[in-house]
């Protein structure tokens, strides 16, 4: 079943602005991870937030997690042209073990110079 | 820092042929995962291994099999290839319930 759903599917903003992407999921999770993917390239791990955490920061990235609403958001501040990419949330279902991640459909972010 | 290594990076096969993809995890990572990403799609989990034993199974077709070896590298074997198997195949590794780090992927084209 489809787990993560991202919103919006596409986002175009001006360089320097902030970009916010949202992700919703359906089942209980151990953690939620955000990845970046440049066109046809590998997935770059950005940040992991555990189910008992509500907010996490890493450089220009801020991630929030609301387990009651089964949703997460990724905020990129002071965007740069190099941030242009697709962003995916991925959930690790509750239960432990080497579970595969369930990815959302992704948000395609375009930063206009 | 060492990353996940995948080989080959590109592979072209004909229908009904067999392909083998290889993955070398980050040193000291004990878990390997395989994912398939079709054009314009999100990655789909196929299968994972922890300490050389199959751990979790996703949407892996019966025509595909995988294993993890004593040196922790993993191989994904794909038989009777179909046009629909054309995709990016990613391997990821992790150290026990932590972040999964992805390799650069193998682009498989079936003609």
DSSP conformation letters of B69-81: -TTS-EEEEE-S-
Give the whole-angstrom CA distance, residue B33 versus residue B47.
6
Residues of A in contact with B90 (CB under 8 A): 42-43
CA dist list (Å): B81 to B43, B47, B78, B104: 19, 18, 7, 22
DSSP, collapsed to helix, strand or coil, labels residue B83 as helix
Residues of B in contact with A48 (CB under 8 A): 98-99
The answer to whether B35 contacts chain A (CB < 8 Å) is yes
pLDDT at B10 over 90: yes
pLDDT for A2 equals 35
Task: State pLDDT tens for residues B47-87.
Answer: 999 999 998 899 899 999 999 999 999 999 999 999 999 99
The answer to whether B94 contacts chain A (CB < 8 Å) is yes
Residues of B in contact with A98 (CB under 8 A): 31, 33, 48-50, 55-56, 94, 97
pLDDT for A41 equals 87
- CB contact under 8 Å between B45 and A33, yes or no, is no
Nearest to B96 by CA among A32, A98, A93: A98
In the predicted model, what is the mean pLDDT of residues B24-37?
95
């Amino acid at each position: 079943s489809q787990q993560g759903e991202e919103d919006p599917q596409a986002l175009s903003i001006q360089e320097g602005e902030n970009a916010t992407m949202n992700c919703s999921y359906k089942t209980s999770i151990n953690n939620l991870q955000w990845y970046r993917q440049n066109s046809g390239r590998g997935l770059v791990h950005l940040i992991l937030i555990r189910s008992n955490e509500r907010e996490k920061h890493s450089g220009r990235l801020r991630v929030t997690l609301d387990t009651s609403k089964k949703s997460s958001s990724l905020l990129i501040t002071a965007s740069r042209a190099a941030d242009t990419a697709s962003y995916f949330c991925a959930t690790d279902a509750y239960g432990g073990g080497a579970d595969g991640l369930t990815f959302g459909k992704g948000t395609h972010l375009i930063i206009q110079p | 820092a060492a990353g996940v290594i995948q080989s080959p990076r590109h592979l072209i096969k004909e229908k009904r042929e067999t392909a083998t993809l290889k993955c070398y995890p980050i040193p000291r990572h004990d878990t390997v995962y395989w994912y398939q990403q079709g054009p314009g799609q999100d990655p789909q989990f196929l299968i994972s291994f922890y300490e050389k034993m199959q751990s979790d199974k996703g949407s892996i077709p019966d025509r595909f099999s995988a294993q993890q070896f004593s040196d922790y590298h993993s191989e994904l074997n794909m038989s009777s290839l179909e046009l629909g198997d054309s995709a990016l195949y990613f391997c990821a590794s992790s150290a026990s319930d932590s972040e999964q780090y992805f390799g650069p992927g193998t682009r498989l084209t079936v003609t």
